[in-house]
């Protein structure tokens, strides 16, 4: 028995020294390849658009970041629902990881959009329907992260966040359909709601390369963020165990004296 | 270069820098946080596969 245990222990590969694994390295490699293609085509090879001119190069960043943000918010909503059903740490961590990454990508989307607006409209911001609903969406998910930062029992915190994660997703289709429902400055919905059907050749290639790169980076970040969150929970448990042990040792001599 | 062309170039470069800068900085912070926490958590609790 001892020999078998020793053999199985020696067969285990060394524990990773971070959140990386073979899978994340492969995924990161693919993301990097698509990023290089996106930079080459988006900034240098693809021509200026007939209508948008060179500002189409901002759209090559604007569209992938918003799609990545939507994907992250959908993951948060699904995870939130699963948490309320299963009540496991996995779904709570996945939901919070998705919310954090979604906020990052959506904030970048808004900044990129503002820069595009400065060139096209002459101003960074207008309180028109798409932009206003986008601002509300961002604030809702910042609220999710704020609630998560409030000190509370982990189960209570997870339940509160799961409810917000489900409520907040309702705003995503509202943002997406805002250009159809209300008249505003933002350009209308196109292919998949984002990509211009008149786009072709190298422009389309640049757009899809950037889109694939954005989604791969989003998944790569999500895995790393999930694992970092998992490690933070384990470190927190260890801290709690250590505090309980110290408390037990403090009380032991007193008990001995009493006896 | 005219003023409008300069604004356009600055906005295009700015958009790409903001995107790569923000996502890159966040990615680096998550990786570093994971490495820091890995030193605290025992090996048997940090096996991903």
For A196-208, the pLDDT digits (tens) are 656 678 898 999 9
Q: Is the pLDDT of residue B29 over 90?
A: yes
Say whether A53 and B8 touch across the interface (CB within 8 A): yes
Q: Are A61 and B19 in contact (CB under 8 A)?
A: yes
**Average pLDDT, integer, range A228-253:** 83
By mean pLDDT, which of A60-64, A187-191, A242-246, B34-38 is the weakest? A187-191
What region does B47 belong to: left with phi over 0, alpha with psi -120 to 50, or beta?
A: beta
Q: What is the pLDDT of residue A8?
A: 46
pLDDT at A231: 93
Domain positions in chain A are 25-191+202-233
pLDDT at site A240: 73
Q: Two tokens at A135?
A: 């601002």
pLDDT tens-place string over residues A114-152: 999 999 999 999 999 999 999 999 999 999 999 999 999
| Whether the predicted pLDDT of A51 surpasses 90 | no
What DSSP element (H or E) covers A5?
helix A2-11
Range from A1-5, A66-70, A158-162 carrying the lowest mean pLDDT: A1-5
Supply the pTM of this predicted model.
0.88
- β-bridge mates for residue A160, sequence order: none
- Average pLDDT for A229-239: 89
Query: What pLDDT was estimated at residue A52?
Result: 85
Among A20, A27, A97, A115, pick the best mutation site for testing chain B contact (most B Cβ within 10 A).
A115
Exposed/middle/buried for A204, CB within 10 Å: 0-12, 13-18, 19+? Answer: middle
Check pLDDT > 90 for residue B36. yes
In B, minimum Cα distance to A221 occurs at B27
- B34:A238 CB<8 A: no
Task: Provide the pLDDT for residue A7.
Answer: 44
Q: Give A103 to chain B, closest Cα distance, Å.
A: 11
pLDDT at residue A4 is higher than 70:
no
Best mutation site among B19, B36, B40 for testing chain A: the one with the most A CBs within 10 Å?
A: B19
Q: What is the pLDDT of residues A69-122, one digit of tens each?
A: 999 999 999 999 999 999 999 999 999 999 999 999 999 999 999 999 999 999
Span A176-186, mean pLDDT? 82
CA angle B2, B7, B9 (to 5 degrees): 95
Q: What string of DSSP letters covers B12-29?
A: HHHHHHHHHHHHHHHHHH
Residue of chain A minimizing CA distance to B7: A119
- Model confidence band, residue A190 (pLDDT cutoffs 50, 70, 90): low
Contacts of B23 in chain A (CB under 8 A): 104-105, 108, 217, 221
**Alpha-carbon distance B41 to nearest alpha carbon in chain A (angstroms):** 6
pLDDT at A236: 87
Nearest to A55 among B8, B22, B41 (CB): B8
Report the helix count and the strand count for chain A, using DSSP H and E. 8, 0
Q: How confident is the model at residue A10 (pLDDT cuts 50, 70, 90)?
A: very low
Confidence class of residue A5 from pLDDT cuts 50, 70 and 90?
Answer: very low
Contact check, Cβ <8 Å, B8/A119: yes
Cβ separation A224–B49 shorter than 8 A = no
Protein fold of A25-191+202-233 = 1.20.120
Chain B residue nearest residue A124, CA to CA: B11
Give me the residue from B15, B30, B44 closest to A228, CB to CB.
B30
Task: State the average pLDDT for chain A.
Answer: 88
Q: Are A89 and B43 in contact (CB under 8 A)?
A: no
Q: Is the pLDDT of residue A9 over 80?
A: no
């Amino acid at each position: 028995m001892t020999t078998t245990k020793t053999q199985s222990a020696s067969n285990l590969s060394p524990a990773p020294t971070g959140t990386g694994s073979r899978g994340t390295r492969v995924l990161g490699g693919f993301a990097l390849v698509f990023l290089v293609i996106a930079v080459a085509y988006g900034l240098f090879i693809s021509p200026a658009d007939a209508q948008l001119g060179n500002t189409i190069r901002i759209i090559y960043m604007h569209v992938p970041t918003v799609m990545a943000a939507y994907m992250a918010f959908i993951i948060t909503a699904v995870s939130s629902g699963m948490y309320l059903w299963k009540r496991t740490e996995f779904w709570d961590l996945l939901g919070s990881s998705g919310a954090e990454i979604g906020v990052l990508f959506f904030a970048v989307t808004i900044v990129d959009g503002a820069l595009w607006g400065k060139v096209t409209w002459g101003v960074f911001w207008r309180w028109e329907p798409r932009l206003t609903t986008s601002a509300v969406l961002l604030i809702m998910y910042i609220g999710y992260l704020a609630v998560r930062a409030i000190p509370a029992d982990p189960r209570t915190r997870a339940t509160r966040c799961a409810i917000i994660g489900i409520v907040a997703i309702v705003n995503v289709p509202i943002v997406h359909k805002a250009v159809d429902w209300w008249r505003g400055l933002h350009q209308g919905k196109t292919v998949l709601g984002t990509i211009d059907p008149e786009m072709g050749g190298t422009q389309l290639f640049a757009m899809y390369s950037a889109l694939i790169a954005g989604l791969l980076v989003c998944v790569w970040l999500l895995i790393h963020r999930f694992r970092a969150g998992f490690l933070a929970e384990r470190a927190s448990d260890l801290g709690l165990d250590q505090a309980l042990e110290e408390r037990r040792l403090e009380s032991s001599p007193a008990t001995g004296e009493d006896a | 270069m005219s003023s409008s062309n300069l604004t356009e170039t600055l906005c295009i470069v700015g958009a790409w820098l903001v995107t790569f800068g923000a996502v890159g900085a966040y990615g680096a912070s998550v990786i570093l946080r994971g490495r820091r926490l890995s030193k605290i958590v025992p090996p048997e609790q940090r096996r991903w596969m």
